[in-house]
């Protein structure tokens, strides 16, 4: 029996889990927040010194946490761009998260290549403010001196792996992380250096993309370091999702991703074509409105929290007495209606009760995500089971409606450090391959997530009727919104 560690460096903290290589059982864990000062007025900073991630890592690994560990996998926040100079130093702090400064740069880049379709064909994704390629364009336009000094581009997990290995000449990344940059194509498995040059104004070196089961290297102490990956890919790997599985994530905005055998090129730009941590693909469809629609409704009804909104919604019935909420409160990305607003339809005397509005909010949120799911299904992605993630997944009103509205089995995993567990599973895979005990094409089989399983059952027909009611209102209000 061996032990491996998975390290997840999220935007706010580092989590480390130490796992049994054979079963995946978590034996020890560590945690430390990042020592980062927030900007004035609160909120997460757009610029972060990467050294903060190392300090947090060191604190989380304290007390002998990594004693006996044979290999480490690294998961880290996606979209963090770290520009490096010719001496291997950071040119400026890392640009992290959904950087609003880069919104104009995203539009610039889309136009520079000839439109959304050209980007979708090139790299499977259309530039957004968060992506590294867009941040490069912002850097070239706003900080030209820093842009000129930039000779190498890294993301958070690339940089951390490089630091753990003692900053070797060889710099590596993985398919998952590379697929979110906007300058690597999941379809071809190759970089597009011309897009780096288009954004930055000159060429820059890029990390070598290594296979899912390959090691990035070994530390001077003999610790094997696996390829690492982005948080989304690591969490999917930690959950153990495979073909036929989709993940619906309920944040302020929502996302739907599924495992698929091939990269999907979507000319509308609704599908972002990412790679996963196993050699497969992770097409993702995002909605701008998920839990924010619930919070807005709770505020409108004078309720203190989402639990109260859920309790109120359960006093209504499926279909909310004909009340339908199109939850496009921030505009919407799926369907592509950036300048629209939300719609409340079906107001009648009998439907004008707080519990029906509460129910309509939950149904509207879930139907919006079902629309996103249908974008994937419409492209041949098989979905037999849905993993529902996020704190809102625990709400009774969500669990009561989701299986029937999605039309399939819904799995609600217990909260756990799935990204860190996925990183540890990757480390176990690379370790096994290096020892000759595992196949590089087949990851180790670990125990699955402890979860609640919900079936649509007899409610399926009712759920599909509610869904049809929603689709009818959407088509009347925004005819042809989903046509290519």
- Model confidence pLDDT, tens digit, residues 357-377: 999 999 999 999 999 999 999
Contact 17, 62 (CB under 8 A): no
How far, in Å, CA of 301 to CA of 355, rounded?
Answer: 9
Report pLDDT for 449: 87
Contact 161, 430 (CB under 8 A): no
Nearest of 1, 7, 4 to residue 423 by alpha carbon? 7
Question: pTM to 2 decimals?
Answer: 0.93
Structure-token pair, residue 243: 């073909």
Q: Which residues contact 140 (CB under 8 A, 6 or more apart)?
A: 147, 199, 200, 201
Q: Tell me if 5 sits within 8 A of 67, measured CB to CB.
A: no
Q: Alpha carbon of 49 to those of 95, 160, 358, 398: distances in Å? A: 9, 12, 43, 39
Contact 226, 173 (CB under 8 A): no
Bin 167: left if φ > 0, else alpha if -120 < ψ < 50, else beta.
left
Q: How far is CA 308 from CA 38, 351, 363, 397, in A?
A: 31, 19, 16, 10
Per-residue pLDDT of the chain in tens (484 residues, 90 and over written 9): 699 999 999 999 999 999 999 999 999 999 999 986 655 444 556 799 999 999 999 999 999 999 999 999 999 999 999 999 999 999 999 999 877 788 899 999 999 999 999 999 999 999 988 999 999 999 999 999 999 999 999 999 999 999 999 999 999 999 999 999 999 999 999 999 999 999 999 999 999 999 999 999 999 899 999 999 999 999 999 999 999 999 999 999 999 999 999 999 888 889 999 999 999 999 999 999 999 999 999 999 999 999 999 999 999 999 999 999 999 999 999 998 989 999 999 999 999 999 999 999 999 999 999 999 999 999 999 999 999 999 899 999 999 999 999 999 999 999 999 999 999 999 999 999 999 999 999 999 999 889 999 999 999 999 999 999 999 999 999 999 997 5
What b/e string do you get for 292-320 counting C-beta neighbours within 10 Å, with b at 16 or more? bbbbbbbeeeebeebeebbbbbbebebbb
Cα 157 to Cα 173: distance, rounded to the nearest angstrom: 8
Q: How many whole angstroms separate alpha carbon 130 and alpha carbon 80?
A: 8
Pairing between β-strand 190-191 and β-strand 208-210 as defined by DSSP bridges: unpaired
Phi/psi of residue 186, each to 5°?
-65, -30
């Amino acid at each position: 029996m061996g032990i491996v560690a998975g390290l997840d460096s999220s935007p706010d903290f580092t989590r480390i889990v130490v796992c049994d290589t054979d079963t995946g059982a978590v034996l020890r864990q560590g945690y430390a927040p990042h020592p980062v000062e927030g900007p004035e007025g609160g909120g997460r900073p757009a610029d972060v010194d990467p050294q903060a991630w190392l300090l947090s890592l060191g604190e989380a690994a304290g007390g002998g946490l990594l004693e006996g560990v044979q290999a480490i996998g690294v998961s880290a926040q996606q979209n963090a761009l770290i520009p490096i100079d010719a001496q291997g130093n950071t040119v400026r702090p890392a640009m992290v998260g959904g950087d609003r400064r880069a919104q104009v740069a995203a539009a610039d880049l889309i136009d520079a290549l000839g439109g959304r379709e050209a980007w979708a064909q090139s790299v499977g994704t259309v530039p957004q403010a968060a992506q590294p390629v867009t941040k490069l364009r912002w850097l070239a336009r706003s900080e030209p001196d820093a842009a000129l000094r930039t000779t190498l581009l890294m993301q958070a997990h690339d940089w951390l792996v490089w630091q753990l290995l003692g900053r070797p000449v060889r710099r590596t990344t993985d398919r998952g992380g590379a697929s979110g940059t906007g300058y690597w194509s999941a379809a071809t498995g190759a970089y597009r250096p011309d897009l780096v040059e288009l954004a930055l104004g000159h060429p820059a070196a890029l990390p070598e993309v290594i296979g899912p089961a390959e090691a990035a290297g070994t530390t001077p102490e003999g610790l094997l370091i696996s390829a690492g990956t982005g948080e989304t890919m690591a969490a999917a790997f930690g959950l153990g999702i495979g073909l036929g599985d989709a993940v619906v994530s309920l944040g302020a905005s929502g996302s739907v991703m599924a495992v698929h055998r091939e990269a999907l090129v979507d000319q509308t730009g609704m599908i972002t074509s990412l790679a996963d941590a196993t050699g497969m693909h992770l097409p993702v469809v995002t909605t701008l409105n998920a839990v924010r629609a619930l919070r807005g409704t709770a505020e409108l009804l004078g309720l203190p929290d989402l639990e109260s909104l859920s309790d109120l919604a359960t006093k209504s019935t499926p279909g909310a007495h004909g009340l339908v909420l199109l939850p496009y409160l921030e505009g919407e990305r799926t369907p592509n209606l950036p300048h629209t607003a939300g719609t409340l339809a079906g107001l009648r005397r009998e439907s004008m009760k707080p519990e029906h509005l509460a129910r309509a909010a939950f149904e509207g949120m879930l139907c919006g995500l079902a629309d996103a799911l249908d974008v994937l299904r419409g492209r041949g992605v098989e979905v037999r089971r849905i993993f529902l993630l996020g704190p809102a997944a625990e709400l009774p009103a969500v669990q009561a409606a989701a299986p029937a509205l999605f039309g399939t089995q819904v799995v609600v995993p217990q909260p756990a450090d799935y990204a860190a567990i996925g990183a540890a599973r990757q480390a176990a895979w690379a370790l096994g391959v290096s020892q000759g005990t595992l196949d590089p094409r087949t990851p180790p089989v670990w125990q699955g997530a402890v979860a609640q399983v919900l079936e649509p059952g007899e409610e399926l027909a009712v759920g599909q009727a509610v869904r049809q009611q929603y689709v009818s209102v959407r088509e009347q209000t925004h005819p042809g919104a989903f046509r290519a």
